[in-house]
Amino acid sequence: MRRTRALRYALAAALAAVTVPFLAHAAFGDDTVAAPTAQVFPTRSGVGVTWDTVNASAYKVERKLGSADWQDASGALAESATSWIDTTLTPGASAEYRVVADDTVTSTAVAATRSTQAPAVGDVDLLMMDADPGDGATWLRNETATGVTVSAPADGTRTLSAGPIKLSLPAFFPGPGKHPATEAVRLTQGDRSCMADGEFTVDEVLYTPDRAIETMAGSFKGWNCAGVEGGFSVDIRVSSTKTYQALSIDPFETKAGTVVKGQTSGPLPVTVKNTGTAPVELEKFEVKSGASWAWPVKSNACPAILPIGASCTVKVEFAPDFVAFTRAKLVISDSTARGWHTASFSGQGASLPGAHGLTVTPTFTGNAIRWAALPTSGGTTVKGYFLHEYVDGVEKTHWVDGADRTTGFYTVADVRPAVGIEYALSVVNQVGEGPTGARQKAGRATQQIAFSGGDPAGRDLVSADLVNGQAVAIPDELTAPAAAVTASPDGKSLAYVTGSGEGDLWTRRVEPGGIGAPVQMWSDGQRRLTHLSWSPDGARIAFQATNDNDKDRPCVYVVAAAGGTPEEIACDVSSPSWMPDARTLVVLDDRGDGQPVLAQVDAKAGGNRVRSYGLTASEGTPARVSPDGRTVAVGLGTGVTFLGTQTGAVVSLSLGDGIKAISWSPDGGQLLALETRGQLSKIAFSSDGGLKLEPPVVLWPTGGQPAYDVTWQRLGVRIEPSAATTGPTISVAYDHSALLPGTTFNCLLTGRSISPCPSPVTAGVTLSGPQSLEVIATEPDGRVTRAFRTFTADATGPVARVDAPTFDATTAGTAGLKYSASDGAGVASYDVRYRKASYLSGFGAYAQPWTATTATSVNLAVDPGYEYCVSVRAKDKLGNVGAWSTERCFARPLDDRAMGAPTAGWSRVSWSAFYLATATQTSTYGASLTRTVSGKRFSLVATKCPTCGLVAVYAGGKYIGAVNLASSSTQRQAVLPLPVQAAVFNGTLTFTVRSPSGKGVQIDGLVVRRT
């Protein structure tokens, strides 16, 4: 039925809209006729039938009674006709009707029943809005307006108006009954309107023959309009005699306020009044709520039937057994058109505040106490807090007002707190003070943020915790810092700059055990010191300052941490930061063309550039090296750029503003970035396998702290000064005085596994090149700190060589040995050795008459008939011992007397000019000398002269060569080599004269060598 009516109304509207176009078609000879849409309406004289006009020239209405056939009931009707009244239908009878256009098309049939008695016309004329405002979510209001006017039908609807209320409804109802709205109904109250779905209930209705409403009584019940909570109803009376029922509820909403848990509010009365013209049945009173037990009905004075104009009272109470805000509705089921009415209640169950916790974070100079701000507690607004302090059994309280903060956190700084102090918190709400929370004691202070803060004209040295960034003043400020600040590598001291010109450099012990007196390191009223950086070995402090002659020219200086005159490293460089070798700095180097470039330079006069990283930045841009030297963080643009020193990888993190200070945590896992507008962020960082960043944690928002410079200060291990280059055994000491007794230490050295390492760390190094040492300290409480050092290992010894003698044989009794070596670390000493072999046997063991000698030449006594092989090795100044050099071999000859017995014709002669003052000579052809030998290389020692002859040489009877002794001049002790043998010869050498008789042969000795 609903779809049929909806379609009917839609078709009627559509057909009405296209009437003119259809007429136009007809004018051009289009004979198509659309089917009309029929409706029925009751009249005092009979059943009315109405239809929408179509492009037809004539109409008629047919009627069907029961099972009979359709009959023409109206006869022909004019082209302009839109309705017809069936006055012949008997009262109480029913019929179906349809409209036929041009005897060709027929409307859908509609049914009607003629009432037995037509309603009377009266003077009740009103629209009554029953909106049940409930908790006030809708703008609809209960209202009764009289003097109803009814509009003519248009597009299937008509509008009822009375005062500020307007209601649209279908143009025709077929009679009494319930009629769901097939289209959204427009409801207007005052200057606001809404569209609602719903249902019309028609008690009686009558139309005039010209289709106007003669009388009507009914109502419309709607929903989903204007945020109304439980629907609404509009009672309709048009010239009616019918009474109507109406109730008013006062108040619509009652606020019980705050009631302490376990207590009961006073009575909350609701007045119910009959504002209609008929008695109203009050069927049921029921409280609906998620906590209905907390809203008991205390009393109900309302009768079952409320007379016209009468009032009654219902009283409700609020008795919470909980701490929460709750709502309830008193639902009154009644006989009005709407069917029910409601009264809303709300209340807050309350109690004393609950216990609330706090956290205590220590700094070196005090404690930061922090707790979350509460807007409410125990169901009511928080008024404030009592901060309780306990020292030696004595309690003190401090009031902290809670009116100015309902979100975020409260923080309180306690400077120089008493030893063993404990803190607790209690909350105060509108009911009273709640219980005191658990006591909290500050843990051991091991790290903090140190910064120069405050107005430029009066900055202070301030500390802050690293959890929340809560500032805690460093007391007893004898010299307030004006600008830069940095922490020592062991975390026990700070260095900072003061003075109106920012030219005074100070150090000061600032640790949990106490605060020392400031120590002035240097003062120069003409320079401005910035970018402080304390070397990782604790020995030196680097800083940027202006040049003596050019105040706009930046220079980098280094000063001993113990004080003294700073050394100028270089000018046109800025932003110094120490590498972990404690001997080089990363700076922005502007000594070339173009922009300053990030570079590594020697931390000594001249600032020799060791390496360029290629990244450019403006002069003075913050640049800080991580403690392990693997990453440089640079404040570029509106964030921080990270450069991997070993990989060249670059990662950038945007923070939203320019960066004016950067400080790494001593273990290199995090860093602080201070923005120009004051925001301080903590960034978690990892360089393992690449540069990895975590989202930053904001410790101070923009404008949170007026800070100039920050440094991360942590108690830790400090590796003491060490050599830039080590030998095969390293020995590196570390200081752990800042750590707890019982701390254990492990070390990680390049190429090795982690292992325990008491100070000094000693280890053998087998590979030369860059090395890194990481000292990992684990305190008894589990806290871990780390320190890093890089250095160069030299595990290679010097390369040595024997430079002299250069001869193969010598007749002298000593041989002068000369040797040398080369090594980058310098040669410290030499070891010289030799071995020897006689003319009859192999080499014996080495003899080493010179060990760790610094001489580069020595004399070696040599015996006749022996071959000597000499080698040398060197030790460098780092302790590396090189390999033995290649041997240098030579021999001293046998004397001629060591030859075998001469054959006939030989004679022995003596003379100082001969080798060992003797010789064996002959001029007889075929005369021979022999010698049993073991060797490979042989030389004959003999005299050469103009009249000297020829000697043939045989090895084991085999001819191996001849020696011609003829010479234009006389030569004594001439060493004449023989052909080298392929292998060591063991046997007899025979020397036979083969020159004519008269040619002299004078043999002086024999050289035998095995090499």
Specify the range with the lowest mean pLDDT, choosing from 280-289, 396-405, 952-961: 396-405
The single residue listed with the structure tokens 């006729």 is: 33
Cβ within 8 Å of residue 380, ≥6 positions away: 258, 348, 350, 429, 430, 431
pLDDT in tens, 200-218: 999 999 999 999 999 999 9
Give the CATH class of 799-892.
mainly beta
Q: What is the mean pLDDT of residues 902-912?
A: 90
Share of the chain above pLDDT 90, in %: 78
Predicted local confidence at residue 24, as pLDDT: 35
Q: What is the mean pLDDT of residues 3-14?
A: 36
Residue 919 vs residues 576, 968, 978: alpha-carbon distances, Å? 82, 21, 19
668: buried, middle or exposed (CB in 10 Å: 19+, 13-18, 0-12)?
Answer: buried
Predicted local confidence at residue 931, as pLDDT: 95
pLDDT in tens, 619-636: 999 999 999 999 999 999
Predicted local confidence at residue 690, as pLDDT: 61
In 3-state terms, the chain is what percent helix, strand and coil (to 5)? 5, 55, 45
Residue 363 near residue 370, CB atoms below 8 Å = no
Alpha carbon of residue 678 to chain centroid: 20
Q: Where are the alpha helices (DSSP H) in 949-1007?
A: none
Cβ within 8 Å of residue 481, ≥6 positions away: 452, 459, 460, 461, 496, 497, 498, 506
Token code pair at residue 587 = 């700076």
Cβ within 8 Å of residue 326, ≥6 positions away: 289, 290, 291, 294, 320, 346, 347, 348, 349
Residue 345 has pLDDT above 90, yes or no: yes
To which H or E segment does residue 835 belong? Answer: strand 827-838
Residue 902 has pLDDT above 90, yes or no: no
522: buried, middle or exposed (CB in 10 Å: 19+, 13-18, 0-12)?
Answer: buried
Residue 978 vs residues 499, 729, 962, 964, 970: alpha-carbon distances, Å? 90, 51, 8, 11, 20
pLDDT in tens, 578-598: 999 999 999 999 998 889 999
Residue 529 near residue 512, CB atoms below 8 Å = no
Residue 508 has pLDDT above 80, yes or no: yes
Token code pair at residue 415 = 């400077």
Predicted local confidence at residue 23, as pLDDT: 32
Single out the residue of 119, 150, 128, 118 nearest to residue 278, CA to CA: 128
Cβ within 8 Å of residue 19, ≥6 positions away: 52, 53, 54, 55
Alpha carbon of residue 561 to chain centroid: 36
Cβ within 8 Å of residue 457, ≥6 positions away: none
First to last CA, the chain: 129
Q: How far apart are CA 748 and CA 773, in angstroms?
A: 6
Q: How far apart are CA 286 and CA 272, in angstroms?
A: 14
Predicted local confidence at residue 691, as pLDDT: 67
Alpha carbon of residue 393 to chain centroid: 44
Single out the residue of 950, 952, 971 nearest to residue 960, CA to CA: 952
Q: How far apart are CA 84 and CA 72, in angstroms?
A: 12
Residue 688 has pLDDT above 90, yes or no: no
User: β-pairing, 157-162 with 83-86?
Assistant: unpaired
Cβ within 8 Å of residue 642, ≥6 positions away: 631, 632, 633, 634, 650, 651, 652, 653, 685, 691, 693
Q: How far apart are CA 640 and CA 696, in angstroms?
A: 11
What CATH number belongs to 248-350? 2.60.40.10
Three-state SS for 182-197 is: CCCEEEEECCEEEEEE
* 174 HSE (CA, 13 A, CB side): 16
Predicted local confidence at residue 1, as pLDDT: 36
* 594 HSE (CA, 13 A, CB side): 6
Q: What is the mean pLDDT of residues 316-345?
A: 94
pLDDT band per the 50, 70, 90 thresholds, residue 517: confident
Q: Tell me phi and psi for residue 39, to 5 degrees.
A: -140, 155
Predicted local confidence at residue 463, as pLDDT: 86
DSSP annotation of 153: P
Answer whether CATH 2.60.40.10 is correct for domain 359-436.
yes
Cβ within 8 Å of residue 545, ≥6 positions away: 503, 524, 527, 528, 529, 530, 554, 555, 556, 557, 566
CATH fold of 38-114 reads Immunoglobulin-like (2.60.40)
In the sheet with 366-372, reading across from the earlier edge strand, the strands are 359-362, 366-372, 409-415
Q: How far apart are CA 757 and CA 746, in angstroms?
A: 5
Residue 348 near residue 429, CB atoms below 8 Å = no
Q: What is the mean pLDDT of residues 441-452?
A: 91
pLDDT band per the 50, 70, 90 thresholds, residue 838: very high
Task: Kindly list the domain boundaries of the chain, sorted by start residue.
Answer: 38-114, 124-244, 248-350, 359-436, 447-714, 719-791, 799-892, 894-1009
Predicted local confidence at residue 997, as pLDDT: 82
Specify the range with the lowest mean pLDDT, choosing from 6-10, 294-298, 837-841: 6-10
Which stretches of 594-656 are assigned E, i.e. beta strand? 597-602, 609-616, 623-625, 631-636, 639-644, 650-654
User: β-pairing, 340-350 with 253-260?
Assistant: parallel
CATH fold of 894-1009 reads Jelly Rolls (2.60.120)
The 3-state DSSP class for residue 347 equals: strand
Q: Using CA of residue 195, residue 201, residue 204, residue 206, what is the dihedral sign?
A: positive
Three-state SS for 76-102 is: CECCCCCEEEECCCCCCCEEEEEEEEC
Single out the residue of 612, 666, 671 nearest to residue 640, CA to CA: 671
Predicted local confidence at residue 499, as pLDDT: 74
Specify the range with the lowest mean pLDDT, choosing from 154-163, 423-432, 678-687: 678-687
Predicted local confidence at residue 11, as pLDDT: 33
Neighbours of 901 (CB within 10 A): 7
Question: How many residues make up the chain in this entry?
Answer: 1011
Residue 294 has pLDDT above 60, yes or no: yes
Answer whether CATH 3.40.50.300 is correct for domain 447-714.
no
The single residue listed with the structure tokens 């040595």 is: 800
Residue 909 has pLDDT above 80, yes or no: yes
Token code pair at residue 372 = 């979350």
The single residue listed with the structure tokens 């439980």 is: 230
983: buried, middle or exposed (CB in 10 Å: 19+, 13-18, 0-12)?
Answer: exposed
pLDDT in tens, 766-804: 888 999 999 999 999 999 999 999 999 999 999 999 999
Q: How far apart are CA 450 and CA 532, in angstroms?
A: 13
What are the DSSP calls for 733-745, one per residue?
Answer: -EE-TTS-TT-EE
Same fold flag, 799-892 and 894-1009:
no
Predicted local confidence at residue 143, as pLDDT: 92
pLDDT band per the 50, 70, 90 thresholds, residue 479: low
In this structure, the dihedral spanned by the alpha carbons of residues 387, 388, 391 and 396, taken in order and rounded to 10 degrees, is 90
Q: How far apart are CA 895 and CA 299, in angstroms?
A: 149
Helix axes 19-27, 2-17, angle to 10 degrees: 50
Q: What is the mean pLDDT of residues 883-898?
A: 97
Residue 297 has pLDDT above 90, yes or no: yes
Q: How far apart are CA 150 and CA 125, in angstroms?
A: 11
Residue 4 has pLDDT above 60, yes or no: no
Single out the residue of 469, 482, 790 nearest to residue 629, CA to CA: 790
DSSP annotation of 37: -
Model confidence, pTM: 0.66
pLDDT band per the 50, 70, 90 thresholds, residue 827: very high
Predicted local confidence at residue 547, as pLDDT: 79
pLDDT in tens, 809-824: 999 999 999 999 999 8
pLDDT, averaged across the chain: 91
Q: How far apart are CA 148 and CA 304, in angstroms?
A: 32
The 3-state DSSP class for residue 995 equals: coil
Residue 347 near residue 292, CB atoms below 8 Å = no
What CATH number belongs to 719-791? 2.60.40
* 96 HSE (CA, 13 A, CB side): 13
Q: How far apart are CA 214 and CA 379, in angstroms?
A: 60
Of residues 779 and 453, more confidently modeled: 779
Beta bridge partners of 218: 202, 236
Share of the chain above pLDDT 70, in %: 94
Amino acid identity at 345: F
pLDDT band per the 50, 70, 90 thresholds, residue 480: low
Q: How far apart are CA 132 and CA 959, in angstroms?
A: 144
